Amino acid sequence: MNQVNAKTIIVDYDMGNLFSVEHACNKVGLPVAISSDPKEILNAPALILPGVGAFADAMQNLMKFNLVEVIRDFAASGKPLMGICLGMQLLFTESEEFGHTKGLGIIDGRVTKFPKISPTGKHLPIPQINWNQIIKPESDSDAWENSPLFQNENGDYMYFIHSFYTIPERQSDILTLTNYEGFEYCSAIHRENVFALQFHPEKSGEKGILIYRSFRDMVMERVHN
């Protein structure tokens, strides 16, 4: 396959909002294809792992399509991988959703449910379904600028819908934080070629589309180099 003409693959494992992600990619001019074919995935210049639904069901589907090792191998290849919502959570070691389920183990850490009460004593509606801000951690150095958020601003509002959140073991993996009624959690991660978001950029207006545009630029730069 000619790498210059190759398409970024949106992984199809019967658990994702595939067409809204495809539409966002088309809008910014990122050539994409929807596929569950391991060969196509491994040959792609970049990968997008979307997801909506339960963690255990998603992992079961990934195993059914023989994609667990494929996605792990892709992440190890150094090529850009973007996870969205459940797709971000699947990258982690394990989840506590409906029991204990092992994840892809690409990012060290776990997935757990929002507490019912925030540290400030406020009741947390679960799931969180609203617009909320993404905030640069105080410890952040150049991580934001070296990620697909580099064209976004600290404090941009994005669209969230989720009941579970991630706890990375490495602080350096945390790209953004979000405050939900006084409860602060990790809302995006970035480690080398792996970039993932708890929110839905394709549903977040122009600020979200900007992320897809930046991801496109990073993919195309890698392809042409």
Active site residues: 85, 200, 202
Contacts of residue 83, Cβ cutoff 8 Å, sequence gap at least 6: 48, 49, 50, 51, 89, 90, 91, 194, 195, 196, 197
C-beta of residue 219 within 8 angstroms of C-beta of residue 8: yes
Pairing relationship of beta strands 47-49 and 8-11 according to DSSP bridges: parallel
Cα–Cα distances in Å, from 96 out to 55, 60, 110, 165?
A: 9, 15, 8, 10
Q: How many CA atoms lie within 13 A of 95 on its CB side?
A: 24
C-beta of residue 129 within 8 angstroms of C-beta of residue 160: yes
Task: Give the Cα separation of 3 and 119 in Å (integer).
Answer: 49
Residue 211's SS3 state is helix
